[in-house]
Each structure stands twice: as C-alpha cells, then as structure tokens.
C-alpha cells in the first residue's frame, strides 16, 4: 500500500522472514515505556486500593505503611501520567477507529470463543485493544485531574472542600474502572498466547500476527524495508 | 471600687461607660454575666465604639470621646426633671441641703475665681456658709435657692437630651433609652453599678467624669448598696496597691499627703489636716490623721523618729509644686533639670504622651536605670529600629543600665486588686537568668547609698542613714517582713482609749488594725489603710476561704479587703435613717437598736446611732458631696469641656478651650491641633485589646499569635471616603507625630453626627512596640497630646485629633 | 454560676475511658461496649461570649502547640483560620439585625463539634486513626493517622487540618486527656464568663434551657440550642440568640449532614467498586477455564511464512 506510513504499522515494526517468521512489534523504548506504565499502574492500584476499602488497608504495608502510601501514591500517579502520555503519543494514531473495528466488535462472541478466523482482518490493534487504549487515556486524565484536587499536601488551597469531595468520589470510581480495564487488558494478554512475548521481547511470531493482526502483517510485508532498519531485540 | 468584683453579681443594671470591661477586664466581667444570667440584670454600654462589652449588652449607645460629662449631667438633669431621685437618700446622705457661699457662681464655662494666666482658680468661694456654731448651714427643705441641690439643678439644666445629642453625637432616642433604664434605679430596690476605667480617667477632665457619675449614683441612692457603687476597674493587677501605698509624687501611703514647701514644720502641716466635723456628731475619720502620720514616720525611721524631732517630719521631702507626675518629670528632663531616672516597672517611651518629646527628654538624661522583667522599649529608647524607633544613637549620651527584675509570678507578696483585696501570692516559677526581685534591687541601692553617705557624708544624709532597716537580711527584705511593717506593730502596749484596762496590742506585737494606731510614737504602721492585713491572727491576705453566708458576694474570709476587711465602702448607706436596709433583699448591715451588724464590717462605729452619725465617715460633713467645695482644681461641679483637641468647639461655653484648669507646659499648646481643625479632622481615641496586656504580652508568643500586629480601626464610611481597604496600610498623623498601621474597617465604628456635622472616629489600640515577639509597630502615644487631667495629670489619651491616608506599605 | 469542674486530685488515677469504650474506630469494626458511658458535652453560649480568646490561649498552652505569628489582615480572627496548631478559633461577624437595625457582633468559638455521627471518622481510611468513645468524644489518634485529608472531606463543619510538619490531622480533642481524669476541657476552664461550660450532655441541655429562657426574655424570640440532628446531635453545642439562622454566625451550617457525596463514596462506591473489579477478574478466570488459551496454530505460522515468502522472493 502506497499510503503506508510508520504510524499505520508502528514505529520500528518490521518483518523478519524465517521459520518461524518473526515480526517486530514493539521497540525497546516502547516496551520500557509500557512496563513503566504497567508498573506504576500496579503500584497505584495497590496503594490506592489500600485507602479505598478498610479490608485492603493491609496493602499499605507493601509501601511501608499508610503515611508512605499517602505520600507516594500521588507521585506514582505523576509517573503514570507522563509514562502513559508517552504511550499515548506513540500509539494514538494506531488506535484511531477504523471501519473494520465496528465489524470486529459486532462479532465479540467469536472473539471470546477464539473464532478469530471469523473476524475481519485488523491492523496493529483490534477494537478491543483500542477500547482499552482510549478508556485508559480518558480515565488517566480523570484520575490525574481529580488526584491533583485531593493532593492536599500541595494543592489543598486551590479548591473548595465540596470540589474535593466530588474529586475523591470521581477519583475512586475512575480508579475502579481503570483497574477493571487493566484486568481485561492483562487477561487478554494472558489468554492470547504469544502476546506477552511481544511486550517482553518486542517481537511476535508471524503466525501470531497472521492470526490476530493480519492487516498489520500484510502492511508490514508490503512496506519497503527501511535502509537502516535497526535490528530489534527480537533478533 | 467602692464595692467589689464579686458584688457586681448583685446588681440590676450595669452601666459600662468610660471603660470596656469585657475587653480589658474579662475575668472580672464574669460577675456581669452572672448578674445578667441569674438576676436578669441589664447591661448598658456607652462608648464611641461598639466594643466587646457592647457585644453582650442589652443596650448600646454611641458617644463622642471626651463628652461624657455632658452625657452624665444630661442624665442627672433628666432625673431631676422627671423626679427620678431617691429622695430619702439624697436628703439624708448627701450635701444637697447645704447652703453655698454667695460669691460662688458658674458662668460661661467658668466657676468663680478663675485666673487665666495661672490656669487656676481662687477657690475661696467654693464652700458652704458656716454658721455661728462652726457648722455648715443647711436647709432640709431644699427651698433655699443657694442650697447645693438648687445650684446643681440650675447647673445641669443646659444638658437637655437635645444638647446631649449635639455635643455627644448620641441620638436622642438612644440617650433617652439609656436614661430611662438608669433612672429606674432611683427606686430603693433597684440598683445600678457603674464600671469604668481609663475611658474616663485619661482625659483632661478625667476626675470630673468620675465625679459626675458618682453624683448620679448618689442621686439614685446607689452608693453603699449591694450591687451598686462606683467601680473603678484598675488596669494592672496591683495598680490599686500602687495608689494605696502612695507611689505618687504627692502622696504618702494610705492617702496621706506629702508636705509642701510652705509647711515648714509639723504643726503647720497638721494645721490644715484637722478635719473638724462640719456637722454635729459626725465622725470625720480623718481627724485621726496625726495617728496615721506619726505611725508612718515611726515605720520609716524607727527610734530616730521622736516627739522631740517631730517624728522626723523634716526628713520628708517637701513639694514646691503640686506634684512631680510623669509629665512634669519628662518636661524637666527635657529642660535638662532632671538628669537621672530610676524607671521601675514602667515603659514611658510607650506609656507617656507625645513620644517624640519622651525620646528627646530621655536623650538628655545622664543616666537611666530600668528595672523590669522585660526588655522594654524605654530601656532601648536609644537604639535605632528603623521607622519604629528612628533615633540617631550616636547623638544620645544617656547611660542606660538595665536591671532584670522578677515578674509577679516569680516572687512572693501581695497584689491589691480593684476590689481593694490584698491577695497574697506565692512564686510559681524560678526567675530566669540574673533576674532579681525588686526588693533585692531596692535594698541594694539603699544599703550601698547608705554606706556611701556614711563614708562620704553629703548635703543631707539624715533621711537615708537613719532609715529603719531592721530586716533579717538587710540585702533582701522578705515580702512577709514588709507586709508586717505595713500592718504595723505596737512599740509599747496599746490600750483601748474607751476602756484603759483593755489591751489592744501588747508591746512588740502586730497591731490588730488601724483603730489601735496612736499619735504618740507608740505604734508603727507603714500604710494605715492596710493595717490588719498581717496581724497576730496571721497573714490575712493569704486566706482562701470561699465561704459566703447567704451568698451576698462579700466573701469576707477571702484574703483581706482594706479598710478593716470591709467589702463595701459606705455600707452604712445601704440602710435608711432608722438603720433598716433600703432593700431588705440587699441587706449588708442593719441597726438592731444598739449596734450595727450584718454580713460585712460596718463602715461606721458599730454603736453609732442611725439618724445621728452620717454614713460618709471620711467627710467632715458625714454625708457625701454633690458639691465638692474646693477639693478639686477644676470646679465643685463637673462641667462639659471639650478635649484639648476636638473636632468641635464647646457648645455650652464657646470661649473655653479644653479644661481651663488643666496644666499645659510652655510650648505644648502650640502642639495642639485647633478645634475643628481642617488639617486634623478626625477624632482619635486609644484603647487596649483583650488579647494583650499593655506592652508586656507582645513578648509572649501566644498573645502575639492572637493579636499579631498594630492596626487602627475606622468606619466603613471613612474607609470609603478615603479609599482605605480592609487590611490595607494607612498613615495616621497628628500634630506631634505619625504612625503606620494596618486598617481594620468595621461596622462597629460609625460616624457620629455632632452639632449637625459628621465626626469620624479612629480607634488606635496600644499594644505594639519594637521589642518582643509580635510584629513591630507603634503606640498611640506617638500621636497623643502632652496634657493631663487637671487634678491628677493622667494624660489625655482618649481624645485627640489626627488625619489618615491610605499608603502602599510602610516606608522602609 | 454553673458549678465548675472541680480540680482533680494530684495522685495518680486511672483514665475514665479508653479502648474498651470505643463506639466507632475508623476503617475497623469494633463491638461497641454493652453499656454506653454518660454522654458528655461542651456548651458554648454565644450570648455570653466576649470574644476574649482565652479559650484559644488555653488551647495553645494545654496542647503545647506553636501557631505562627501572622499579620493583621483587617479582622479580629487570629490566626486567620483553624490550623494544625490552632484547634479552636473565635470567629467574629458584624451583623446588622434587619428587625432592630441594631448592630450585633456575633462571636462564635469554632472547633470540632464531636458529632454523634462523625463524618471524619466515616471518611477515614486508616484503621484506628479516628475513634469515637461512648461518651461522645471523637478523637484523632496520631500514630495511626496517614495524613490523607479524607477527614476534611468527611467533616460537615470544615474542622480538621493537616500538619505540614508531621502530616497528620489535628483538631479539638475535647481535651480527651483532661476529661479522662475528671478535668474539664482547657477552654472551658479558661473561659472567664462561663460562655463555655462542660458536663454531661443532659446537664448541658438543661443549662441551655435556662439560658434560652433568659435570652427570650431579652427579646431574642428565636434563641435556641444548636444540636444538629443531621449528624445525630453533637457533643459541642451552641446557645444562639438567632438559632433560626445559624449561618449568620460565620457560616455555621444550618442542618449539617455528612455530605451525600461522601456517603456515596464511602457507601455504595466502596462495595460496588470491589464488586466490579471482582467480577472482571472472575469473568476472566471463568472464561479461561471454559475456553482455554487462545493459541496460534501451525497453519497460522505457515500462512505467515507464505506471506513473507511472497515478499522476500
């Protein structure tokens, strides 16, 4: 396809013929970025949950106690925000909604029953992944905004108590949703074998790409190889 | 106080005028809330500002500062016009019926005998007509036009409610509401108490402010009554003690007076202190003056005071002027005539008026010794603190010696409170650093001076080298030793004069009270009115028995109340001519046919028959005075005089400026703003805030937190007119100086309409200076005029003129 | 005079209440004691208060706090607000009574109300940081406090303040340490006019009745007791001359309750949130159990090889 650009397939993504075929899916930078995000999200979830429900307060021990949770949680939030911002800038174009995404979503029953052959060919991301991406984007904006409002150590003076009450309610609801989205995201990665490798080692097998992101694979194959294409970690 | 703090709970009506009890006396104010809560008593507050007292008052009336006499005489006029007079009381217990000399008159604001050059009166006409029997002539029918009552009636007639409104700016309806409530207390069973403080004393006619209310209280029959009286709320825990023991330049302890230079010998001195009764049968207790005086001299000089040397009369200083008050002292320092200053527990740099003049005066001293627990501004007057004390240290040669002293909580002794209670206290802490008790410091000065005089002689060593100093440790007399000396002791056995077989005090023993004092040198007594405070029964000041039979509020076993443990002065006046209480529910003492007895120590000889002996035993008349004869410098009746700096001319006497008898030093008149000055259009007043105590507590973190920074208070109207914002900076200046302050813009100050024109009031609290932990600031004394009350020279802090402008911030 | 709390003996004595009297403990379940202690209360009679700030000074001294020396900002409130070092504050309002045209200077001592239903405790996530004793005292336990500021959101009266020094929340304790040994709160002890009195809640209500009768006799027809039922009543109560409009007293809330937002957050959200997350996790688990993993097949790999082979050839 002549209209192919890097952002359609993903930066640094390329195909390495062989047996099996290997496809570079994530650059080292993208993976580091992802895992920082993932790590901070987990830490945020654990620390946040410790303050969310008394039954979960024991989680605060992981951080050295409630005082440290209170002090650290917002800073991890800041890390998450900027880290996710990195992911967002990397991937927002790849997550734009395409015509086939509607079809894919309409056949969610086939998705869940692993009848991938009945699904339309999708690009680097399928509709489910895009939903995760966009909902996380929105939730993280909501979380950072409401989080700043209730970050009393530095920002207590800037809002009213009533605004803080709303903020803390919104923050907790958004966090629940974010954690739920995260569970879905993690589950999908576990369920679809070969996925985690993509984020760990940067590459997936050709078969994986064929099965789940065939359009992406086709586009990669059609892409003229870059002259100075970097060797990826997958090699 | 004639009564006591605890007695205020017995009142029906509290009038707070010339004070702000809730603000300045919050602990004593509890008795007002008690009276309100338990008796349904009402509270009236009359003040230029809506004060903290006003916040809990039933009725508030505004008044322009310095016009209290017009208001008070307006109330007296109302009572007379509306027959709201406790007639039986007035006729029997006041001098209403006494006939005044023909020459006496009041015209155009002046009484007979005024000498403009001297700013003083020839008071010879201010007296009663004395009959051939040597007694004052009276007319019990009050028909004689020259009787005190009729003169008073005439004198106050100009102070109609309309005139009160014009002068005071008090709306007529508010004034009438006040006076209606007040006049109800002319009933023998309704009693009003007057609570006042520096709001009345700090005027050029302060004494007359108080006289005017005392007269009203007499007309209402409220003196001597439970829940009544004239109650001066003293500004320090021991300021009552200060006056009692005579820490005034013209007084000896117990309100004896220092001789003047014309009283060259003891008999001349005593010749004007005979206090012959002016009516038959009267006690005229000052007839015992010689006993008090001689006993005092014996306490001072012991065996060196003998009948042969007139009990060392010659060793007392003799005054060449009426007194060496602080204003005169500063004036003399400024003139270079007073070159040394021992400043003990006083901070004149902030407490005396016209700070610039104070600084100039202190700068001319050779030496200044301060004795204080705190690092006062006075002891640092020479130090430059930027705009807060802008002096050129290099030009000041005064040698300043700071002696750190203990504070009241670190030493033992007694404090005399407003109730006249001598309350013993014990140290609650250890003095910090090198701090020493005042007793130690004074003893050292004395002992070392004495030694110098012994060694080197001198012009007049006798009073010093002969001073009796028989203390166990001459270097530091104990509080107990001093208290016993004040109480007095018998040098030889003292017998009862009525019954010579009865011993009042064995030789060497402490005296039971001042009734045992003798004028032959057989007794000593440091302060006769305190006698009985520490006698053979022990230290009565240390008593802490809270029993109070029938809850009269007397608490007669709590500490010691002078005189003679009496709780209510003039308590004989609480009973009628038959000796029965005017109000049986307010019984204090009662005549049972042979003697007086009751809850309190009778303020009369217990066997003095009612109807014969008058209740005001200190007066030769035996009654109280609505007309004070020649006892006050500025008139036998109070009259309205404007403050020396006033936004208005005198409406009742247009030609009189200020109090005509008040002393003004040369050069100070020029430093007063003209009446109705355009340059200084605003009426300022100074006051204290409850968060602080004078200039002390700015050294205390907690108090500094509660009121951190100097400010002035103005009305919303003036703020709008001048573009001043809440919390913004302002520059306030008078003809003598200027200050910079934060502005508190408040509804609690409103412009007053006086004689048709608006008068803006500016309130200036006084707690800040340049030492301590609170923010640096100024005191109102940077602005106030150098003039005092005509009688006692208390500076006129409560009424002066200033101008005000908003500024960006303090000039660095 | 309301009989003042007598001075305690100087000998050692055991506290009158403690752990065994806890009715509520933040983020914890406690079994309330079978028998409740007599409820105590502090009554603040605004009509007797002269605004002298002795209560503030006593509070500073007893609690040994060290508030900052601020500046004057044109008002009498100093410090300007409650702080972690100032647990009580006189608030001054200049109110012109439209009925009488008279100025009234309303002075209210602000501080913790010790609610029967304490919003701070409800909001608190740290186990045992906020406790409520059966006598009604709501106290902060600083060693358990994490400084999150949730109590501020929970409080209907805007009372707790977080210290920037030790990052824990502070407020009036009702002098729990003093009353535990039979003394009254420091502020009540210092109050010169008995505008603050302390005793059992019943005594306080009775005392208030007398005060209200007195105020009514002075023309304050709406005088009354402020013991807001929306928070189950309080253990600090006010006598107000204008009980019909508490808001004129520097914004004292009219019928305060724990904010419905806080109730939603600490109520439904808490349970629903756990449920949602739990359901998500369980759904995944079940899905895996039912469907097994989704694997790439040999055919897929071959297809990929074919595709890339096309390109590379």
Q: What mean pLDDT do residues B519-531 have?
A: 97
Q: How does the average pLDDT of chain C come out, rounded? A: 94
Confidence class for position B440, pLDDT limits 50, 70, 90: very high
Q: Which of residues 238-277 of C touch A (CB under 8 A)?
A: 259, 261-262, 264-265, 269-270, 272-274, 276-277
Confidence class for position A221, pLDDT limits 50, 70, 90: confident
How many inter-chain contacts (B to C, CB under 8 Å) are there? 121
| Cβ neighbours of A156 (radius 10 Å) | 17
Task: Name the residue among C274, C281, C291 with its Cβ closest to that of A53.
Answer: C274
pLDDT per residue as tens digits for the range A65-74: 999 999 999 9
Q: What percent of chain B has pLDDT over 70?
A: 100
Q: Which pLDDT value is given to residue A229?
A: 45
pLDDT per residue as tens digits for the range C233-292: 999 999 999 999 999 999 999 999 999 999 999 999 999 999 999 999 999 999 999 989
Distance from CA of B406 to the nearest CA of C (A): 22
CA distances from B189 to B18, B67, B96, B551, B576 (A): 26, 30, 22, 18, 12
Is residue A233 scored above 60 in pLDDT? Answer: no
Is residue B616 scored above 90 in pLDDT? Answer: yes
Chains contacting chain A through 3 or more C-beta pairs under 8 A: C
Q: What mean pLDDT do residues B16-23 have?
A: 97
pLDDT per residue as tens digits for the range B59-104: 999 999 999 999 999 999 999 999 999 999 999 999 999 999 999 9
Q: How does the average pLDDT of chain A come out, rounded? A: 90
Distance from CA of C67 to the nearest CA of B (A): 7
Q: What mean pLDDT do residues B482-505 have?
A: 96
Is residue A9 scored above 80 in pLDDT? Answer: no
Q: Which pLDDT value is given to residue B117?
A: 95
| CB-based burial label for B162 (10 Å; 0-12, 13-18, 19+) | exposed
Model-level pTM? 0.93
Residue B385, φ and ψ in degrees, nearest 5: -125, 50
DSSP B105: -
Distance from CA of B742 to the nearest CA of C (A): 7
How many inter-chain contacts (A to C, CB under 8 Å) are there? 174
Q: Which pLDDT value is given to residue A12?
A: 77
Is residue A227 scored above 60 in pLDDT? Answer: no
Question: What are the chain A neighbours of C309 within 8 Å (beta carbons)?
Answer: 17
CB contact under 8 Å between A173 and C150, yes or no, is no
Q: Which pLDDT value is given to residue A6?
A: 55
Q: Which pLDDT value is given to residue A2?
A: 39
Distance from CA of C27 to the nearest CA of A (A): 5
Question: What are the chain A neighbours of C274 within 8 Å (beta carbons)?
Answer: 53
Complex ipTM, two decimals?
Answer: 0.94
Task: Name the residue among C71, C86, C192 with its Cβ closest to that of B708.
Answer: C71
pLDDT per residue as tens digits for the range B312-351: 999 999 999 999 999 999 999 999 999 999 999 999 999 9
First-to-final CA distance of chain B: 46
Q: Which pLDDT value is given to residue C57?
A: 98
Task: Name the residue among C274, C280, C305 with its Cβ closest to that of A206.
Answer: C305
pLDDT per residue as tens digits for the range B364-383: 999 999 999 999 999 999 99
Question: What are the chain A neighbours of C275 within 8 Å (beta carbons)?
Answer: none
Chains contacting chain C through 3 or more C-beta pairs under 8 A: A, B
Is residue B594 scored above 60 in pLDDT? Answer: yes
Mutate to test the interface with A, among C152, C253, C308, C309 (most CBs of A within 10 A): C308
CB contact under 8 Å between C52 and B37, yes or no, is no
Question: What are the chain C neighbours of A17 within 8 Å (beta carbons)?
Answer: 305, 308-309, 311-312
First-to-final CA distance of chain A: 26
Distance from CA of B153 to the nearest CA of C (A): 34
Is residue B508 scored above 80 in pLDDT? Answer: yes
Task: Name the residue among C125, C167, C272 with its Cβ closest to that of A54.
Answer: C125
Q: Which of residues 288-307 of C touch A (CB under 8 A)?
A: 288, 291, 293-305, 307
Domain boundaries of chain A, sorted by first residue: 6-222
Task: Name the residue among B60, B745, B774 with its Cβ closest to that of C74.
Answer: B745
Q: Which of B261, B257, B240, B241 lies closest to B249, judged by CA?
A: B257
pLDDT per residue as tens digits for the range B234-274: 988 899 999 999 999 999 999 999 999 999 999 999 999 98
CB contact under 8 Å between C276 and A176, yes or no, is yes
Question: What are the chain B neighbours of C106 within 8 Å (beta carbons)?
Answer: 55
| Cβ neighbours of B783 (radius 10 Å) | 28
The CATH code belonging to domain C19-257 is 3.30.70.20
Q: What mean pLDDT do residues B126-138 have?
A: 97
Helix axes B161-168, B172-183, angle to 10 degrees: 120
- Cβ atoms B709, B769 nearer than 8 A: no
pLDDT per residue as tens digits for the range B669-707: 999 999 999 999 999 999 999 999 999 999 999 999 999
Binning chain A into helix, strand and coil, the percentages to the nearest 5 are 70, 5, 25
CB contact under 8 Å between C74 and B704, yes or no, is no
The string of DSSP letters for C50-94 reads: ----HHHHHHHHHHT---------SSS-SSSS-BTTB--EEEEEE
Active site residue A185: yes
Task: Name the residue among B37, B702, B725 with its Cβ closest to that of C61.
Answer: B702
B17: tokens are 């005028």
CB contact under 8 Å between C284 and A184, yes or no, is yes
DSSP B18: S
Domain A6-222 has CATH 3.40.50.1820: no
DSSP SS3 for B402: strand
CB contact under 8 Å between A165 and C153, yes or no, is yes
Distance from CA of C248 to the nearest CA of A (A): 20
| Cβ neighbours of C68 (radius 10 Å) | 13
Q: Which pLDDT value is given to residue C311?
A: 52
| Cβ neighbours of B282 (radius 10 Å) | 23
C252: tokens are 């004292």
Among A73, A171, A185, A213, the active-site one is A185
Query: Which secondary-structure segment (H or E) carries B268?
Result: helix B266-271
Question: What are the chain A neighbours of C265 within 8 Å (beta carbons)?
Answer: 165, 168-169, 172
Q: Which pLDDT value is given to residue A232?
A: 43
Task: Name the residue among B690, B742, B748 with its Cβ closest to that of C74.
Answer: B742
Q: Which pLDDT value is given to residue B790?
A: 96
Helices (H) and strands (E) in chain A, counts: 11, 3
DSSP SS3 for C259: coil
Distance from CA of A54 to the nearest CA of C (A): 5
Q: How far apart are CA B737 and CA B109, in angstroms?
A: 31
Q: Which of residues 10-49 of C touch A (CB under 8 A)?
A: 27-28
pLDDT per residue as tens digits for the range B143-176: 999 999 999 999 999 999 999 999 999 999 999 9
Cβ–Cβ contact C67 with B under 8 A: yes
Which residue does chain B place closest to C58, by CA atoms? B702
CB contact under 8 Å between A52 and C265, yes or no, is no
Q: Which pLDDT value is given to residue A234?
A: 39
Is residue B134 scored above 50 in pLDDT? Answer: yes
Distance from CA of B60 to the nearest CA of C (A): 9
* Torsion sign across C-alpha atoms A54, A59, A65, A69: negative
Is residue A231 scored above 60 in pLDDT? Answer: no
Q: Where are the beta strands (DSSP E) in chain C?
A: 22-25, 40-45, 89-96, 103-110, 130-133, 138-140, 161-162, 169-170, 196-200, 224-226, 236-240
- Cβ atoms C143, A72 nearer than 8 A: no
Which residue does chain C place closest to A163, by CA atoms? C153
Domain boundaries of chain C, sorted by first residue: 19-257, 267-312
Which residue does chain B place closest to C75, by CA atoms? B744
Cβ–Cβ contact A196 with C under 8 A: no
Q: What mean pLDDT do residues B612-622 have?
A: 96
Query: Which secondary-structure segment (H or E) carries B590?
Result: strand B589-591
Q: What mean pLDDT do residues A143-159 have?
A: 96
CB contact under 8 Å between B744 and C75, yes or no, is yes
Residue B17's DSSP bridge partners are B46
Cβ–Cβ contact C311 with A under 8 A: yes
Q: Which pLDDT value is given to residue A4?
A: 47
Task: Name the residue among C274, C294, C308 with its Cβ closest to that of A206.
Answer: C308
Confidence class for position C313, pLDDT limits 50, 70, 90: very low
């Amino acid at each position: 396809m002549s209209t192919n650009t890097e952002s359609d397939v993903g930066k640094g993504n390329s195909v390495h013929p062989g047996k099996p075929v290997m496809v570079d899916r994530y650059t080292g930078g993208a993976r580091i970025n992802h895992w920082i995000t993932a790590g901070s999200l987990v830490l945020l979830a654990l620390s946040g949950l410790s303050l969310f429900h008394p039954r979960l307060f024991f989680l605060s021990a992981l951080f050295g106690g409630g005082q440290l949770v209170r002090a650290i949680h917002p800073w991890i939030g800041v890390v998450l925000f900027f880290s996710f911002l990195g992911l967002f800038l990397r991937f927002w174009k790849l997550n734009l909604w395409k015509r086939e995404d509607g079809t894919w979503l309409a056949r969610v029953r086939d998705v869940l029953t692993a009848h991938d052959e009945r699904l339309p060919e999708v690009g680097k991301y399928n509709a489910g992944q895009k939903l995760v991406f966009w909902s996380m984007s929105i939730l993280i904006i909501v979380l950072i905004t409401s989080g700043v409002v209730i970050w009393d150590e530095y920002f207590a003076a800037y809002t009213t108590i009533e605004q803080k009450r709303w903020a803390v309610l919104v923050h907790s609801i958004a966090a629940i949703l974010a954690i739920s989205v995260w569970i879905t995201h993690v589950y999908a990665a576990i369920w679809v074998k070969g996925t985690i490798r993509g984020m760990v080692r940067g590459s997936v097998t050709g078969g994986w790409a064929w099965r789940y992101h065939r359009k992406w694979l086709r586009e990669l194959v059609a892409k003229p190889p870059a002259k100075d294409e970097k060797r990826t970690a997958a090699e | 106080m004639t009564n006591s703090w605890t007695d205020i709970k017995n009142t029906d009506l509290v009038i707070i005028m010339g004070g702000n009890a809730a603000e300045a006396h919050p602990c004593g104010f509890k008795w007002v809330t008690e009276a309100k809560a338990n008796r349904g008593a009402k509270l009236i507050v009359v003040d230029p500002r809506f004060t903290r007292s006003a916040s809990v008052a039933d009725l508030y009336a505004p008044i322009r500062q310095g016009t209290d006499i017009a208001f008070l005489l307006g109330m007296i006029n109302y009572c007379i016009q509306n027959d709201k007079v406790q007639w039986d009381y007035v006729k029997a217990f006041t001098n209403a019926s006494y006939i005044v000399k023909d020459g006496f008159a009041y015209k155009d604001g002046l009484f007979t005998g005024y000498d403009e050059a001297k700013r003083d009166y020839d008071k010879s006409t201010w007296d009663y007509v004395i009959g051939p029997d040597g007694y004052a002539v009276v007319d019990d029918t009050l028909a004689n036009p020259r009787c005190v009552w009729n003169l008073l009636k005439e004198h106050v007639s100009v102070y109609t409610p309309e005139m009160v409104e014009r002068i005071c700016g008090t709306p007529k309806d508010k004034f009438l509401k006040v006076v209606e409530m007040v006049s109800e207390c002319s009933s023998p069973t309704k009693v009003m108490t007057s609570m006042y403080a520096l709001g009345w004393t700090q005027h050029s006619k302060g004494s007359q402010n108080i006289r005017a209310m005392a007269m009203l209280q007499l007309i209402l029959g409220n003196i001597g009554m439970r829940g009544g009286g004239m109650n001066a709320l003293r500004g320090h825990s021991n300021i009552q003690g200060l006056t009692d023991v005579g820490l005034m330049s013209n007084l000896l302890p117990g309100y004896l007076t220092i001789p003047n230079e014309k009283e060259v010998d003891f008999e001349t001195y005593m010749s004007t202190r005979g206090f012959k009764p002016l009516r038959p049968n009267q006690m005229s207790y000052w007839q015992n003056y010689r006993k008090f005086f001689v006993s005092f001299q014996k306490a001072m000089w012991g065996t060196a005071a003998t009948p042969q040397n007139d009990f060392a009369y010659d060793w007392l200083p003799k005054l060449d002027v009426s007194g060496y008050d602080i204003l005169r002292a500063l004036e003399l320092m400024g003139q270079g005539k007073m070159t040394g200053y021992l400043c003990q527990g006083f901070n004149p740099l902030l407490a005396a008026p016209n700070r610039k003049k104070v600084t100039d005066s202190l700068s001319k001293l050779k030496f200044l010794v301060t004795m204080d627990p705190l690092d006062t501004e006075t002891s640092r007057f020479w130090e430059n603190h930027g705009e807060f004390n802008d002096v050129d240290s290099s030009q000041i040669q005064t040698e300043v010696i700071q002696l750190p002293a203990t504070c009241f909580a670190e030493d033992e002794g007694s404090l005399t409170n407003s109730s006249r209670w001598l309350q013993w206290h014990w140290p609650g802490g250890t003095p910090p650093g090198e701090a020493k008790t005042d007793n130690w410091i004074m003893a050292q000065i004395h002992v070392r001076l004495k030694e110098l005089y012994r060694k080197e002689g001198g012009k007049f060593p006798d009073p010093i080298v002969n001073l009796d100093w028989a203390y166990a440790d001459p270097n530091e007399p104990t509080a107990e030793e001093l208290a016993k000396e004040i109480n007095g002791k018998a040098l030889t056995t003292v017998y009862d004069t009525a019954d010579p077989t009865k011993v009042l005090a064995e030789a060497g023993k402490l005296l039971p009270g001042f009734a045992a004092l003798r004028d032959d040198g057989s007794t000593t007594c440091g302060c006769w009115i305190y006698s009985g405070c520490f006698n053979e029964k022990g230290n009565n000041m240390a008593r802490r028995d809270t029993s109070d039979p029938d809850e009269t509020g007397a608490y007669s076993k709590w500490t010691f109340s002078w005189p003679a443990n009496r709780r209510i002065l003039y308590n004989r006046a609480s009973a009628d001519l038959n000796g029965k209480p005017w109000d049986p529910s307010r019984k204090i003492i009662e005549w049972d046919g042979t003697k007086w007895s009751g809850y309190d120590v009778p303020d009369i000889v217990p066997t003095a028959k009612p109807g014969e002996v008058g209740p005001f035993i200190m007066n030769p008349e035996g009654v109280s005075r609505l007309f004070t004869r020649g006892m006050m410098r500025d008139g036998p009746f109070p009259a309205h005089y404007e403050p020396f700096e006033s936004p208005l001319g005198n409406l009742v006497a247009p030609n009189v400026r200020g109090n005509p008898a008040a002393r003004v030093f040369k050069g100070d008149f020029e430093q007063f703003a003209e009446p109705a000055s355009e340059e200084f259009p605003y009426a300022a007043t100074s006051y204290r805030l409850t968060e602080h105590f004078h200039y002390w507590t700015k050294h205390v973190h907690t108090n500094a937190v509660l009121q951190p920074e100097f400010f002035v208070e103005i009305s919303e109207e003036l703020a709008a007119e001048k573009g001043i914002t809440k919390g913004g900076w302002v520059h306030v200046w008078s003809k003598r100086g200027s200050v910079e302050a934060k502005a508190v813009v408040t509804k609690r100050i409103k412009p007053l309409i006086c004689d048709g024109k608006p008068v803006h009031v500016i309130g200036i609290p006084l707690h800040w200076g340049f030492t301590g932990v609170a923010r640096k600031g100024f005191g109102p004394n940077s602005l106030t005029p150098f003039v005092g009350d005509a009688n006692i020279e208390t500076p006129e802090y409560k009424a002066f003129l200033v101008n005000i402008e908003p500024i960006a911030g303090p000039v660095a | 005079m309301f009989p003042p709390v007598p001075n305690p003996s100087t000998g050692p004595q055991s506290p009158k209440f403690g752990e065994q009297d806890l009715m509520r403990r933040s983020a914890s379940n406690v079994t309330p004691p079978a028998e409740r202690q007599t409820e105590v209360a502090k009554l603040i009679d605004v009509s007797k208060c002269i605004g002298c700030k002795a209560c503030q000074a006593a509070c500073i001294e007893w609690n040994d706090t060290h508030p900052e020396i601020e500046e004057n900002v044109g008002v009498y409130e100093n410090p300007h607000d409650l702080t972690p070092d100032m647990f009580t504050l006189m608030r001054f309002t200049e109110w012109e009574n439209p009925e009488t045209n008279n100025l009234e200077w309303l002075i209210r001592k602000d501080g913790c109300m010790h609610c029967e239903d304490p919003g701070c405790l409800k909001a608190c996530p740290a186990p045992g940081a906020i406790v409520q004793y059966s006598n009604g005292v709501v106290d902060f336990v600083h060693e358990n406090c994490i400084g999150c500021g949730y109590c501020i959101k929970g409080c209907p009266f805007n009372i707790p303040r977080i210290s920037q020094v030790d990052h824990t929340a502070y407020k009036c304790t009702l002098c729990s340490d003093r009353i535990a040994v039979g003394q009254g709160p420091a502020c009540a002890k210092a109050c010169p006019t008995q505008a603050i009195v302390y005793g059992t809640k019943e005594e306080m209500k009775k005392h208030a009745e007398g005060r209200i009768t007195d105020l009514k006799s002075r023309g304050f027809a709406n005088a009354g007791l402020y013991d807001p039922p929306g928070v189950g009543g309080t253990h600090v109560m006010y006598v107000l001359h204008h009980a019909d409009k508490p808001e004129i007293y520097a914004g004292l809330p009219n019928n305060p309750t724990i904010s419905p937002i806080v109730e939603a957050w600490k109520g439904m959200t808490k349970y629903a949130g756990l449920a949602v997350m739990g359901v998500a996790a369980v759904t995944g688990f079940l899905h895996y159990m039912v469907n097994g993993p989704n694997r790439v097949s040999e055919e897929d790999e071959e297809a990929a090889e074919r595709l890339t082979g096309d390109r590379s050839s």
